[in-house]
Structure 1
């Protein structure tokens, strides 16, 4: 690979919470290893290239979510990228719009359909520090370190049969406050679930930006983008990142 192409998707409408920083983290961690990397920004009403190496989608408010979903459904570039196995990181509203449907603007809105999930409304806003233990589902099988971030959402995201949680919550709310009898029996697919993994999509409610707080997750995305195993990436020892991890991961 001569250059890593990182897609920053619709930051003009899904850039409310600083999640653009995830693309910056990927670029910097690649460059620190001597890998040439550039960010390609795709704004609303611009076509989404399906041949980029990795994609980042952030969070936004109701109107922004609706605009983003309508554009991505019409354009289909991100769908083609997912079908080709390109890694996609989706944060908060990004998680919701990549599902089958979500609630925004007082109505149910069709999602892109890359995650088998529906989002309705929480009874109480989920806001504050969030932490989870990775489930190792799908392409996240190599993740071993706890995940941390800051959640701020009113969405209750219920996962269907084709999606798996990214993590099991140890702090904070996670995806939802709803669960059924099967969950009580020990299946935490709804109860204690955080985020979602399906195909090449990794989604989470964690801001931070999440990749700044979770370098192993950032490196997993880089490895997936490069078609190699996580263990094949040269380790990076960054004192400030290690200090942040120590402060935030309890």
Structure 2
């Protein structure tokens, strides 16, 4: 009997206000459309995070929710164990920020310690980043793919030497207006776009699954998605 791939959706009541839950649906469905078993595990504060997840998902949220999420995840500890065991973490916006060394919240820009999973720090930016974002992602095989999404963040993220950018920005702000977006370090990927971003960008969704499974997946041919992607790209570039 095949063991299902476990997709763990973490703390939606804290980090789920921008529709990022849709990322979990995309991963599950892309597995099942290939005839592969998938299990979605939804974890809320007070629940134990599974230590045997294949893909862990963090989404967007408000400042105080970020602080609460970090405290709960540190107290639980299983996210760290899951990553040590080979799991993959995909974190969006506020979820991305809390994966770093530190982030600031509130009008006083109070500094809070993050989870330390990415060599990044986040502080308040000069202007809020709001709107469509278009970036170019270089895949591990050297090919490139466009990533579309919607960014909405006041924090600006700067990368340290241990983290590498996920993508370069064509339109939008990204990490801090310096031309990069997201961060990758080992089996942890952080990014700002909502959308949900994996629904808009199936190549990125499959990349996460391939990292978790340790093998390549057969392509899914879905022409309607490619038509929508082309329309989004054209709309962003036309602004």
TM over 0.5: yes
Q: CA deviation at 1:155?
A: 0.6
Matches within 5 A, 1:76-95: 76-95=77-96
- Inter-CA distance 21–160: structure 2 relative to 1 (3 Å threshold): same
Partner of 2:237: none
Secondary structure at the aligned position of 1:17 is classed as: coil
Partner of 2:222: 238
- Runs of 4+ aligned residues of structure 1 deviating over 6 Å after TM superposition are none
CA distance in 1, matches of 2:46, 2:99: 17
- 8 Å CA contact 1:73–1:111 kept in 2: the answer is no
Matches within 5 A, 1:125-164: 125-136=128-139, 140-141=140-141, 144-164=144-164
1:124 aligned residue (124, 127, 131): 127
Structure 1 gaps of 5+ residues are 178-190
Per-residue CA shift, 1:13-60, capped at 9, x if unaligned?
100100000000000010000011121001012221121111111000
- Inter-CA distance 21–81: structure 2 relative to 1 (3 Å threshold): same
Partner of 2:118: 115
Per-residue CA shift, 1:52-71, capped at 9, x if unaligned?
11111100001111100111
- Inter-CA distance 69–141: structure 2 relative to 1 (3 Å threshold): farther
User: What is the TM-score of this pair, normalised by structure 1?
Assistant: 0.89
Question: Aligned pair count?
Answer: 231
User: What is the TM-score of this pair, normalised by structure 2?
Assistant: 0.93
Partner of 1:19: 20
Alignment of 1:192 with 2:179, yes or no, is: yes
Structure 2 gaps of 5+ residues are 235-239
